[in-house]
Structure 1
Amino acid sequence: MAFFPKPAVGSWTENWPELGTAPVDYTDSIDPEQWKLEQQAIFRKLWLHVGRVERLPKTGSYFTREMPSVGPGTSIIINKDKDGTIRAFYNLCRHRGNKLVWNDYPGEETSGSCRQFTCKYHAWRYDLKGDLTFIQQEQEFFDVDKADYPLKSVRCEVWEGFIFVNFDDDAEPLEDYLGEFGQGLKGYPFHEMTEVYSYRSEIKANWKLFIDAFVEFYHAPILHMKQATKEEAEKLAKVGFEALHYDIKDQHSMISSWGGMSPPKDLNMVKPIERILHSGLFGPWDRPDIKGILPDELPPAVNPARQPTWGQDSFEFFPNFTLLLWVPGWYLTYNYWPTGVDTHIFEANLYFVPPKNTRQRLSQELAAVTFKEYALQDANTLEATQTQIGTRAVTEFPLCDQEILLRHLHHTAHKYVDKYKLEKAAAEAAKTNGNVKDGAHV
């Protein structure tokens, strides 16, 4: 395990002076009105990651996503049409508004394959491009034209196999939004890592608080010390820990860190099961036999400091998508879906190259189980945090240099909310002025 001394105060924060060094106001994580503004200004206007292309392996494949972060009851269908195009639609029949695709329980997500979508209520049918193709007893309607009633589409674009949607028709293209980090990650072999382990949990904490927990390692020596051996835990608690690199590009950010135990230099540092299976929290130790993961093959955004001790990069694509790459050749994704000011749904997916034998399979399962234990430790702490800041006894908190990405996250959320409020005020003023002019004209 490597240790890195903490650099001089301001060594990271001084690079982004606009973020300042003052205590950060966490009212944005407890104010219901602020959450409502975030829903409109952020989750209804920015690109949201909803899955991988591997979930749509053939023509007619589809899956649904519930999107409470966008609005209560919002549900979408993502599917692949006959041309191979991935599309997204509101999960809503154009006849009487029934939910179009669901199984036994309308609130649960589902997936499958079909030639067309048929409403359970009155059997209206839609093809894979969303066009209405059949109306039951069509002759009884009044001058109805099927071309006027397609499924309502949602903007949908794909980057490196990741599917994103946007509920704002005027939003910039996905690749422009992902910016320099998106460009710098192109070419990483995501498509090779199709073995997936998934976790989903309802967390009683604001969505930003969980991101806060994953963009700093200041907490690791304390919160997770029981996961290390006694000797290593004592070293971490005494020396502390500092990441290798931080970076911010517009609304997105990243943190780059050390190599951890993949594999450890001393096998006595890890548990017996980890020695046997060559795996642990940092993933399987054995590098898979694929191209694109060796140090000289990595795309430019990965390990930007070109540190020989590099182990993982975590990219935070605002608002709620984390992409975490590990040096042995696997990756994680996190999504944080707010359902209220103090609740959200946390989703985590671990992606590996498909195993070729039992040992590889078990090493991946061990990594997935170990990850879950760490995530539960973080989640439990966050719920305790939420209860206390919710008292408003204290609302401003000092952040250290290693917590620069927390500072950036809250600053960015406020920036989008403030922009939305200005635009809304301008629109209302223009409407009022228009009404005044019309009245004067009359």
Structure 2
Amino acid sequence: MARFPKPPEGSWTQHYPQLGTGPVSYRDSVDPAFYELERKAVFRRAWLNVGRVEQIPRKGSYFTKEMKVVNTSIILVRTTTGEVKAYHNICRHRGNKLVWNDMPLEETSGVCRQFTCKYHAWRYDLDGNLTFVQQEGEFFDLDKSRYGLVPVHCDVWEGFIFVNFAKQPEQSLRDFLGPMITDLEGYPFDRMTSRFHYRSEVKANWKLYMDAFQEFYHAPVLHANQSPTAYSKAAAEAGFEAPHYRIEGPHRLVSTSGIRAWELADEMRKPIEDICQSGLFGPWDKPDLGEMPVGLNPAKCDPWGLDSFQLFPNFVMLFWGQGWYLTYHYWPTSHNTHLFEGTVYFPQPRTPRERIAQELAAVSFKEYGLQDANTLEATQSMVESEVLDEFVLCDQEVLIRHLHTETAAWVDEYRRKTAGV
């Protein structure tokens, strides 16, 4: 970290004067009425990432996604022409959920030629057309062409599948992402097919958990036991400063320098790290991924640690200097609960050792996530006490200011547009 000395006080926040420097309110994280507005103003208007194309690799491949925040379930499918489409997961006959297995509220996936309703056997092809109605002659002037599946706006960027629940999206997906995100084009996402996934129900507002990954001020304290004692003690005493923050439109970025774990003294490493050749942060055998896109490592850190791209509203991509990436999703389920999903991506391992190195990295980040989730549930419980109305933030917590300010702006805009409607 010595290569990147602490910038002068206020050096990041001053670049975004509209965010201010005063205490912030977390009322937006405890108020059920605000949450109801947020669902409509944000989650029904923004582009939301719901998965990757590798989840539907061939025609007829599909998966479902439960979207409680917008009160629906959707089907993502690859059609016979190779196009990725999205539909509301509802039969046009009597409203039964169309695609599910044993448990109607659980997500599922598979391959099929058509979707058949379990209730009365209405059938729909992969393009959403109604193709068969049981005892069709008993219906009254039924025009099947009018009763296809209800589509959801869907687009794909770099293999990431996004949906939008607005009647008509206000921006194209590419315009919504903006240059800071599209400058990541060319990263070898399609080679990162060794995948580890986990999810957890968290008793905290989704924004509070996102806040935890928008600053590293907490890292030397909360995650001290994840690092060698000598290293974590030194880090706690010196503090942690990221060398680069950036805000563009509704999205945010924090970039950090890193360390080469294998260059640390023996006593600074854990035995399991030497055995697995993995740790702080990821496998030591860095894959050759070719030239990286211009959007990565904007601070030109050497050594580079990570870039954390926070895509509004609830999607995070973290790129690690050791040649892998992970994603986080925060899916609200109420004003004070959400479903957290973490997915870790590596290139396919070539040897058992590489596989073990990847698994150690995946398990380590699951532990980090559990530590943060536990703390955030404690935060939620006390913010709801309303003992305090506002909370102070330091300069390196500038991205937290932005998330709450941006969310409030979307809600205010929605209120103005719907006033008197």
Q: What is the TM-score of this pair, normalised by structure 1?
A: 0.93
In 2, Cα distance between equivalents of 1:235 and 1:364: 27
In 1, Cα distance between equivalents of 2:229 and 2:301: 27
Aligned pairs (5 A) from 1:93-132: 93-132=91-130
Identity within the alignment, %: 57
Offset at residue 261 of structure 1 (A)? 4.0
CA RMSD of aligned residues (A): 1.2
Match of 1:418 among 412, 417, 421: 412
- Kept in 2: contact 1:156–1:163 (CA 8 A): yes
Amino acid at match of 2:163: V
In 2, Cα distance between equivalents of 1:232 and 1:288: 26
Confirm whether residue 34 of structure 1 aligns to residue 28 of structure 2: no
Offset at residue 260 of structure 1 (A)? 3.2
Amino acid at match of 1:234: K
Offset at residue 169 of structure 1 (A)? 2.9
How has the CA–CA distance of structure 1 residues 273 and 58 changed in structure 2, closer, same or farther, with 3 Å as cutoff?
same
Confirm whether residue 13 of structure 1 aligns to residue 13 of structure 2: yes
- Kept in 2: contact 1:51–1:162 (CA 8 A): yes
Aligned with 1:284: secondary structure? coil
Amino acid at match of 1:376: L
Offset at residue 290 of structure 1 (A)? 3.4
In 2, Cα distance between equivalents of 1:26 and 1:89: 35
Aligned with 1:89: secondary structure? strand
In 2, Cα distance between equivalents of 1:115 and 1:400: 55
In 2, Cα distance between equivalents of 1:110 and 1:78: 11
Aligned pairs (5 A) from 1:43-54: 43-54=43-54
- Who is 1:92 aligned against? 90
- Kept in 2: contact 1:49–1:165 (CA 8 A): yes
Match of 1:342 among 336, 339, 353: 336
Confirm whether residue 243 of structure 1 aligns to residue 239 of structure 2: no
Offset at residue 3 of structure 1 (A)? 7.3
Amino acid at match of 1:242: E
Q: Please list the CA deviations of residues 19-71 of structure 1 after superposition, one character each: whole Å capped at 9, or x if unmatched.
A: 00010011111011011110000011111110010001111000000000112
- Who is 1:192 aligned against? 191
Offset at residue 228 of structure 1 (A)? 1.6
- Kept in 2: contact 1:2–1:258 (CA 8 A): no
Aligned with 2:199: secondary structure? strand
Amino acid at match of 2:398: I
Aligned with 2:68: secondary structure? coil
In 2, Cα distance between equivalents of 1:332 and 1:34: 30
Q: Please list the CA deviations of residues 53-98 of structure 1 after superposition, one character each: whole Å capped at 9, or x if unmatched.
A: 0001111000000000112xx1000000010000000000000000
How has the CA–CA distance of structure 1 residues 304 and 48 changed in structure 2, closer, same or farther, with 3 Å as cutoff?
same
- Who is 1:402 aligned against? 396
Between 1:336-345 and 1:275-284, the stretch displaced more is 275-284
In 1, Cα distance between equivalents of 2:135 and 2:21: 67
In 1, Cα distance between equivalents of 2:3 and 2:102: 53
Amino acid at match of 2:268: M
- Who is 2:318 aligned against? 324
Aligned with 2:69: secondary structure? coil
In 2, Cα distance between equivalents of 1:42 and 1:77: 21
Match of 1:315 among 309, 316, 319: 309
- Who is 1:146 aligned against? 144
In 2, Cα distance between equivalents of 1:399 and 1:289: 40
- Who is 1:438 aligned against? none
Aligned with 2:70: secondary structure? coil
Q: Please list the CA deviations of residues 384-425 of structure 1 after superposition, one character each: whole Å capped at 9, or x if unmatched.
A: 000000000102001000000000000000000000001110
In 1, Cα distance between equivalents of 2:392 and 2:11: 17
- Who is 1:436 aligned against? none
Confirm whether residue 234 of structure 1 aligns to residue 228 of structure 2: no
Offset at residue 276 of structure 1 (A)? 1.6
- Who is 2:361 aligned against? 367
- Who is 1:389 aligned against? 383
- Who is 1:299 aligned against? 293
Amino acid at match of 1:355: P
In 2, Cα distance between equivalents of 1:164 and 1:88: 9
In 2, Cα distance between equivalents of 1:32 and 1:232: 42
Aligned with 1:350: secondary structure? strand
Between 1:235-244 and 1:264-273, the stretch displaced more is 264-273
- Who is 2:25 aligned against? 25
- Who is 2:60 aligned against? 60
In 2, Cα distance between equivalents of 1:411 and 1:265: 41
Aligned with 1:69: secondary structure? helix
In 2, Cα distance between equivalents of 1:307 and 1:260: 11
- Who is 1:167 aligned against? 165
Q: Please list the CA deviations of residues 142-174 of structure 1 after superposition, one character each: whole Å capped at 9, or x if unmatched.
A: 110100000000011000000011101321111
In 1, Cα distance between equivalents of 2:263 and 2:383: 39
- Kept in 1: contact 2:259–2:280 (CA 8 A): no
- Kept in 2: contact 1:103–1:110 (CA 8 A): yes
- Who is 1:431 aligned against? none
How has the CA–CA distance of structure 1 residues 107 and 3 changed in structure 2, closer, same or farther, with 3 Å as cutoff?
farther
Give the aligned length: 420
In 2, Cα distance between equivalents of 1:309 and 1:22: 34
In 1, Cα distance between equivalents of 2:238 and 2:332: 36
In 1, Cα distance between equivalents of 2:82 and 2:67: 24
Amino acid at match of 1:406: I
How has the CA–CA distance of structure 1 residues 347 and 421 changed in structure 2, closer, same or farther, with 3 Å as cutoff?
same
- Kept in 2: contact 1:316–1:323 (CA 8 A): yes
In 2, Cα distance between equivalents of 1:395 and 1:363: 45
- Kept in 1: contact 2:229–2:268 (CA 8 A): no
Amino acid at match of 2:296: V
In 2, Cα distance between equivalents of 1:197 and 1:239: 33
